[in-house]
Amino acid sequence: MIIKKIIFLLTLLCAVNTHATSQVYFTKNGNASFFSKTMLQDIKADNNQMISVLNIQTGEVQFSLLNNAFHFPKAKMEEDFNENYIESAKYPRSTFKGNITNLSEINFAKDGAYPVKVKGDMMIHGVEKRIATAGTITITNGNISAASSFNILVKDYKINIPTIVDNKVAENIKIDITCNYQKK
């Protein structure tokens, strides 16, 4: 009976302990931008309404954004992007869910810039794809920020570019992500 009680208390203690050290950071205004470069035209679009959650204990990391929030220099580009390419009425969100694979190499208690490796599932245009990418986590006075830059192929996500504008939109799109996290 006493042993049972001790086990119960220990379990409870562990649970409380886990909860106390559970460290979730988030941002609701992260930045995602993409860049398409061709001979004819450079296109850059910005989204400053990305939600991201980072659990520094488990290394889980998530990003989620609304495609219709991308802002382009020209209204026509924005319209084409939403209606013809990303089809934001049909696929309103783009997401990434993954894990930091080298979590042990990051000391969240010490200021510095730490290279990180991330693996996870990227969902764009209704197509999910497993990707691995690299980034940087920077700790400044205890504040966490993250940045990553990677390329995606539009055909991987079944985004059709009509042949008439083929030379205006690049096949390879560069994506930049930056988030300044706050503690939950």
Partner 1 sequence: MPANNLFDEQEGIHDDLQVIHTCIIVKWQPFSVKKRYTFLETTMKRELKKNILFIFIAIVLFACIGGYLVWNRPHQDVKGANAIETTSIDLYKIFTSEPLVAKSKYLNTITAVSGEIIGISLNQKNQQILLLKTQTSGASVNCTMEENIDNARAGDTIALKGICIGYIEGDSEMGLPGDVYLIRCYRSI
Binding site for partner 1 (CB under 8 A): 24, 26, 28-29, 31, 46, 48-49, 51, 53, 55, 60, 62, 64-66, 68-69, 71, 74-76, 78, 92-93, 178, 180, 184
Between 37 and 93, CB nearer to partner 1: 93
- As a whole number of angstroms, the distance between CA 133 and CA 96 comes to 12
Angle at 123 between CA 88 and CA 56, to 5 degrees: 125
Between 5 and 163, CB nearer to partner 1: 163
Cα 83 to Cα 2, 29, 52, 161, 178, distances in angstroms: 67, 24, 26, 12, 26
Phi, psi of 174 (to 5 degrees): -90, 130
Query: Minimum distance from CB of 117 to partner 1 (Å)?
Result: 21
Query: Minimum distance from CB of 90 to partner 1 (Å)?
Result: 12
Which H helix or E strand runs over 55? strand 42-55
The torsion angle over the Cα atoms of residues 124, 130, 136 and 141, rounded to 10 degrees, is: 80
Query: Minimum distance from CB of 9 to partner 1 (Å)?
Result: 25
Contact 159, 131 (CB under 8 A): no
Query: Minimum distance from CB of 26 to partner 1 (Å)?
Result: 5
Between 1 and 75, CB nearer to partner 1: 75
Between 78 and 87, CB nearer to partner 1: 78
Between 7 and 16, CB nearer to partner 1: 16
Query: Minimum distance from CB of 37 to partner 1 (Å)?
Result: 19
